[in-house]
Amino acid sequence: MGMAATARSGSEVIEVGPLEILPEEHLARAGGRVLVLSIRELRLLTELGRRADRIMPREELFRLVWGREMRAGDRSVDVYVRKLRVKLENVLPDWQFIHTHFGFGYRLAAESTARSQLDHTSATTD
């Protein structure tokens, strides 16, 4: 395992909290567990990851991932964001990665939700 973990020099590794994206190897891991992603899902995650903490307009994401201009009313980006959220949440339920900025777009940032869940459970157990 040790050798595989150290990516070959020159190959891109994008790390966002416990999320690791290796575009050249068509691989993404969350908390060390491999995510089963379609090519397009991986491409969307990669483009968000390369610009982590930046709000990415839908149109720009569409152009980067689909390679053409987005038509008015096209919800492809939203659909794929939802698919990614479900897959990430299945592996790391205590983390939120893709954040919606209504009227602007999406932002990738690793935020732990575990603390807020603890506050919630302690509040309900009295």
Residue 46's CATH number: 1.10.10.10
- For residue 10, the model assigns a pLDDT of 74
Q: What is the mean pLDDT of each run of 10 residues along the chain (126 residues)?
A: 48 96 96 96 98 97 98 96 98 97 96 68 48
Task: Give Cα separations from 46 to 73, 74, 78, 81, 114 (angstroms).
Answer: 24, 21, 16, 12, 25
pTM value is 0.83
Domains: count for the chain: 1
Which among 57, 68, 73, 72 has a CA at the least distance from the CA of 107? 57
Structural domain of 83: 2-124
